[in-house]
């Protein structure tokens, strides 16, 4: 009766159903996060670029870079493409070629898999402390370029054996802000005792997903890792049994429908092969050329003492900050960051087709993509002000913004990566539509089941971070 299932699939699935953890109630986690905020002293000030310590404007390369050549740099690029209405533009971009760790340690307690999470402060977080993975570290950090302490639990990941690794993927980050940036998303399962330090706790997968229903509590790095968790594929009769037993008083029709879409390979409108052909055809048709240019030569951008910003004040700006946080590996430093011009919106529109929930998935080209095009949410509006978008100019935006509450499954503000982005939050939404959304989609869109989305997440550079963040929010309990 089981189609494609391993023991780890069942462990993850059980954790996704377990809304009560063995150590702390979910509502108490919010209080715990607030207490961590109070307990840690921090200071974050915007400063002029000339006050950056160990960072400088490199005349030869035309970039803002660290004197070690590590961490990241702010580069200028010129983009040319035959995608969309704007075929050439210049912009600054974060160039961070290092592959860092985003990792969870998991362990069974009373038969349920728990995730070791950290209350971590990042300088750009809207509310400072958020739930982060066990290990969240760039290569420069964990190799101690900063001369500070090593991150907690690093050795567990460096010494992990193949039978301990339950998930191991290279995943992209924001393609409009990072140049071909990827991180290693990894989950390792341990059986031995592990020390739990003051800012760490054990949570089930269901508890983490519950916390995502509140604004800015679960950071981007947590969301990207849990989005890739595999649950396996089951025959439809087994999925129906799952939906008949357990949690009957609490599980909603939407959660049961998402579970069916996640676990079933049957009933999809398109085959995996057809979806690959759809994407391959677009990658073969559209071109993306990115050329490095000095920051002082990027057109329509203005450099002053405090910012590098677009002349229209749109999109984002580069700023400098002075940071002091007492519980970090290094407690005081300066760095450049990107500050958004406004809040954005990312949304999936779903529809039942052939008895399965399907997602309207957008193929999207972004200048920092590793392989030209990635799958994105139905609506992704980050660099422009979606509230001022002309009616009908962006597919599905008007529908999403005007959806009645009964069709809205998920609607929260979620922070972007607080180590590089200064107080950036975007509205994340999932809408379950009806007959008002036709089967035929606009160009560059395709219907996919949740099971198919999970299949593509397994492979590198298929689903962008915005799509993965929304998928992480989907709960089965």
Distances (CA, A) of 174 to 382, 413, 417, 428: 10, 17, 9, 15
Strand partners, 201: 117
Task: Identify whether 45 is part of a domain.
Answer: no
Count: domains in the chain:
1
**DSSP assignments along 271-321, one per residue:** -HHHHHHHHHHHHHH--EEEEEE-GGG-TTEEE-SS-EEETTS-SEEEEEE
Enter the DSSP assignment of 421.
B
Tokens of 462: 């298929």
Cα separation, 190 vs 135, whole angstroms: 15
Strands 373-376 and 356-365, bridge-based pairing: antiparallel
Query: Residue 267's domain spans which residues?
Result: 254-287+342-472
Cα separation, 107 vs 134, whole angstroms: 12
Task: Identify whether 127 is part of a domain.
Answer: no
Strand partners, 94: 74, 178
Task: Identify whether 418 is part of a domain.
Answer: yes
Q: How many residues does the chain have?
A: 477
Q: What is the pLDDT of residue 1?
A: 42
Cα separation, 313 vs 182, whole angstroms: 28
Task: Identify whether 451 is part of a domain.
Answer: yes
**Cβ proximity of 207 and 29 under 8 Å:** yes
Cα separation, 41 vs 37, whole angstroms: 8
Task: Identify whether 303 is part of a domain.
Answer: no
Tokens of 275: 């979806």
Q: What is the pLDDT of residue 371?
A: 93
> Nearest CA to 357 among 455, 474, 444, 228?
474
Cα separation, 385 vs 371, whole angstroms: 27
**Cβ proximity of 377 and 395 under 8 Å:** no
Enter the DSSP assignment of 230.
-
Distances (CA, A) of 56 to 44, 85, 330: 20, 36, 20
pLDDT along the chain (477 residues), means of 10: 73 94 95 89 92 88 91 96 95 94 97 97 91 91 70 95 96 95 96 95 98 97 97 86 65 91 94 97 97 95 94 95 83 94 95 97 96 97 79 91 96 95 96 97 98 95 96 95
Task: Identify whether 315 is part of a domain.
Answer: no
The whole-angstrom distance between residue 319's C-alpha and the CA centroid of its chain comes to 23
Which CATH number characterizes residue 446's domain?
3.90.79.40
Cα separation, 242 vs 235, whole angstroms: 11
Task: Identify whether 382 is part of a domain.
Answer: yes
Q: What is the pLDDT of residue 245?
A: 66
Task: Identify whether 393 is part of a domain.
Answer: yes
Q: What is the pLDDT of residue 243?
A: 78
Q: What is the pLDDT of residue 57?
A: 86
The whole-angstrom distance between residue 431's C-alpha and the CA centroid of its chain comes to 19
> Nearest CA to 394 among 340, 345, 462, 435?
345
Place of tokens 């759809």: 278
Half-sphere CA count of 280, side-chain side, radius 13 A: 6
Count helices and strands in the chain by DSSP H and E runs = 12, 26
């Amino acid at each position: 009766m089981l189609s494609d299932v391993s023991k780890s699939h069942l462990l993850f699935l059980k954790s996704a159903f377990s809304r009560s953890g063995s150590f702390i109630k979910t509502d108490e986690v919010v209080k715990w996060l607030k207490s961590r905020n109070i307990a840690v002293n921090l200071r974050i000030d915007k400063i002029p670029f000339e006050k950056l310590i160990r960072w400088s404007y490199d005349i030869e390369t035309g970039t803002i870079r660290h004197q070690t050549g590590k961490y990241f740099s702010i580069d200028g690029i010129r983009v040319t493409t035959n995608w969309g209405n704007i075929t050439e533009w210049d912009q600054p971009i974060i160039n961070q070629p290092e592959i860092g760790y985003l990792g969870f340690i998991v362990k069974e307690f009373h038969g349920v898999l728990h995730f070791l999470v950290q209350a971590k402060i990042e300088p750009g977080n809207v509310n400072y402390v958020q739930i982060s993975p066990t290990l969240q570290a760039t290569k420069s950090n964990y190799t101690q370029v900063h001369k500070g302490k090593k991150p907690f639990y690093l050795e567990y990941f460096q010494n992990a054996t193949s039978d301990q690794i339950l998930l191991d993927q290279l995943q992209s980050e924001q393609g409009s802000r990072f140049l071909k940036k990827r991180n290693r998303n990894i989950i390792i399962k341990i059986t031995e005792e592990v020390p739990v330090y003051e800012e760490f706790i054990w949570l089930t997968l269901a508890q983490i997903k519950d916390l995502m229903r509140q604004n800015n509590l679960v950071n981007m790095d947590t969301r990207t890792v849990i989005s890739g968790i595999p649950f396996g594929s089951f025959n439809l009769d087994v999925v129906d049994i799952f939906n008949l037993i357990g949690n009957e008083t609490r599980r909603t029709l939407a959660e049961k429908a998402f579970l069916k879409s996640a676990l079933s390979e049957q009933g999809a409108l398109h085959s995996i092969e057809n979806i690959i052909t759809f994407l391959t055809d677009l990658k073969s048709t559209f071109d993306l050329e990115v050329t490095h240019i000095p920051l002082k030569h990027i057109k329509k951008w203005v450099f002053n003492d405090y910012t590098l910003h677009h002349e229209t004040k749109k999109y984002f700006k580069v700023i400098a900050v002075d940071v002091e946080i007492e519980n970090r590996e290094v407690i005081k430093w300066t760095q450049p960051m990107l500050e958004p011009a406004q809040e954005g919106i990312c949304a999936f529109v779903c529809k039942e087709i052939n008895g399965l929930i399907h997602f309207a998935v957008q193929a999207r080209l972004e200048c920092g993509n590793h392989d030209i095009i990635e799958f994105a949410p139905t609506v992704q509006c980050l660099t422009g002000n979606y509230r001022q978008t002309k009616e009908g100019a962006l597919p599905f935006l008007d529908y999403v913004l005007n959806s009645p509450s009964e069709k809205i499954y998920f609607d929260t503000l979620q922070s972007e990566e607080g180590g590089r982005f200064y107080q950036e939050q975007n509205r994340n939404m999932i809408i379950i539509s009806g007959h008002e959304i036709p089967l035929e989609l606009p160009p560059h869109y395709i219907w996919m089941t949740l099971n198919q989305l999970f299949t593509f997440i397994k492979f590198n550079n298929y689903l962008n971070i915005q799509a993965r963040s929304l998928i992480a929010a989907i709960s089965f309990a």
